[in-house]
């Protein structure tokens, strides 16, 4: 099974290198942004989900390699060129060195990454990546932040390593470089899940996005096991109990109140309110509401549940209250938002 999957992925990668539609699409979008300099400058600083993802995508795969017509061939010149593209992004990014050697820059340091290296960056960490024009290839697996909050947070509740990392990545106000790195060997289960994500993304079979979410969650479990063997983690201090507090809210988002939260954790409401605000830069109510809206977007896009039922699942007693809150944050009614994605699949 592994050999067949590996062969499939090799064929898909070869086809993508022959016809790099993903790179050409991004180039076209960037050319459009350049017509509005302030938007282009903002894009160079932080890559938005709107720029990167297609409407129907929650997870996407982006093979990175110098394309035909790339302006630089000398490695040192290429490094200088790519370092003008220091950036961060709104979404989660995991990159895997599929072939050759790549170079990563952040915090004024150069890191040489060999085949099998797998890194996950904090979304707040500015970095640049150089893929040499020598056959090297890097595979990016990127996940919408809203998708992670709505679907994957519950899956990794027991995985303290990644739960803490991703929660800090979403809510920490500290702009400090932070990453996790792993080394995957041929035949590892982690490599199997990466290959499966690549295959699902490019075959685009029915339920591919759902299969990719499951494979990504399984990949995190395998990487967590690797971490406890290698201990390659750079981390910052986190507030006591905040991971458990956020996890509890995600488990009870439809009914949780500040009072019930304080009773469960045996802290005062004032302390918990201050703790959540410091960590997420939102009040308790704002955080719970944001979580509900992320969940609502996911259900509207990925399920056929009636809007009345979605409102009930999110803890709203009246559909009108849900619709009012959703439109305030999303700029569209739930029906209008759902129609965008139903039209996409027609």
269-280 and 242-251 helices, crossing angle to 10°: 90
Helices (H), the chain: 2-18, 21-34, 37-45, 49-52, 75-82, 145-147, 153-155, 160-171, 189-203, 208-230, 242-251, 258-265, 269-280, 284-302, 307-313, 319-330, 334-344
Q: What is the pLDDT of residue 176?
A: 47
Q: How many CB atoms lie within 10 A of CB 106?
A: 19
If you ran DSSP here, which 8-state letter would residue 233 be given?
Answer: B
Distance CA 161, CA 165 (A): 6
User: Is 60 exceeded by the pLDDT of residue 282?
Assistant: yes
pLDDT-derived band at 106 (thresholds 50, 70, 90) equals confident
If you ran DSSP here, which 8-state letter would residue 87 be given?
Answer: B
Instruction: Kindly report, residue by residue over 297-316, the tens digit of the pLDDT.
Output: 989 988 889 999 999 999 99
Q: What is the pLDDT of residue 240?
A: 45
Instruction: Kindly report, residue by residue over 145-162, the tens digit of the pLDDT.
Output: 888 877 777 767 666 667
Instruction: Kindly report, residue by residue over 159-211, the tens digit of the pLDDT.
Output: 666 777 777 777 665 554 467 888 898 889 999 999 999 999 998 888 999 99
Instruction: Kindly report, residue by residue over 38-58, the tens digit of the pLDDT.
Output: 888 888 778 888 888 888 899
Nearest C-alpha neighbor of 184 from the set 170, 174, 194: 194
The answer to whether 291 and 246 have CB atoms below 8 angstroms apart is no
Q: What is the pLDDT of residue 157?
A: 67
Nearest C-alpha neighbor of 196 from the set 215, 223, 220: 215
Q: What is the pLDDT of residue 212?
A: 94
Lowest mean pLDDT among 19-23, 96-100, 291-295: 19-23
pLDDT-derived band at 235 (thresholds 50, 70, 90) equals very low
Nearest C-alpha neighbor of 114 from the set 132, 92, 89: 132
Q: What is the pLDDT of residue 71?
A: 59
User: Is 70 exceeded by the pLDDT of residue 321?
Assistant: yes
The per-residue DSSP string of 150-217 comes to IIIHHHTTT-HHHHHHHHHHHH-------EEEEEPPTT-HHHHHHHHHHHHHHH--TTHHHHHHHHHH
If you ran DSSP here, which 8-state letter would residue 232 be given?
Answer: -
Q: What is the pLDDT of residue 172?
A: 62
Q: Which residues of 50-75 are buried (b: 16+ CB within 10 A; e: fewer)?
A: eebbeeebbbbbbbbbbeeeeeeeee
Q: Please give the residue that has the higher pLDDT: either 338 or 73.
A: 338
Instruction: Kindly report, residue by residue over 264-278, the tens digit of the pLDDT.
Output: 887 778 888 888 888
């Amino acid at each position: 099974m592994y050999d067949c999957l590996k062969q499939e992925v090799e064929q898909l990668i070869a086809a993508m290198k022959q016809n790099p539609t993903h790179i050409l699409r991004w180039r076209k979008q960037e050319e459009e942004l350049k017509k509005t300099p302030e938007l282009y400058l903002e894009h160079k600083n932080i890559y938005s989900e709107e720029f990167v993802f297609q409407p129907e995508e929650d997870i996407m795969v982006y093979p990175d390699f110098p394309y035909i017509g790339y302006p630089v061939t000398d490695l040192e010149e290429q490094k200088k060129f790519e370092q003008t593209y220091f950036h961060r992004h709104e979404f989660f990014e995991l990159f895997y060195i599929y072939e050759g050697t790549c170079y990563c820059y952040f915090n004024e340091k150069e890191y040489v990454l060999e085949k099998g290296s797998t890194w996950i960056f904090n979304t707040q960490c500015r970095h640049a990546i150089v893929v040499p024009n020598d056959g090297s290839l890097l595979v990016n697996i990127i996940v919408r932040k809203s998708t992670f909050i709505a679907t994957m947070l519950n899956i990794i509740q027991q995985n303290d390593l990644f739960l803490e990392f991703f929660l800090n990545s979403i809510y920490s106000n500290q702009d400090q470089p932070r990453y996790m790195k792993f080394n995957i060997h041929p035949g590892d289960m982690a490599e199997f899940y990466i290959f499966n994500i690549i295959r699902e993304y490019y075959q685009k079979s029915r339920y591919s996005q759902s299969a990719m979410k499951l494979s990504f969650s399984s990949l995190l479990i395998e990487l967590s096991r690797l971490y406890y063997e290698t201990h390659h983690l750079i981390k910052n201090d986190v507030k006591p109990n905040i991971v458990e507090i956020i996890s509890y809210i995600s488990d009870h988002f439809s009914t949780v109140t500040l009072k019930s939260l304080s009773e469960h954790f045996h802290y005062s409401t004032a302390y918990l309110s201050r703790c959540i605000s410091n960590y997420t830069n939102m009040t308790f109510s704002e955080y719970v509401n944001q979580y509900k809206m992320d969940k609502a977007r996911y259900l509207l896009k990925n399920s056929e549940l009636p809007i009345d039922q979605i409102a009930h699942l999110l803890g709203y007693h009246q559909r009108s209250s849900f619709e009012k809150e959703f439109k305030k944050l999303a700029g569209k009614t739930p029906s209008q938002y759902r129609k965008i994605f139903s039209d996409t699949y027609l």
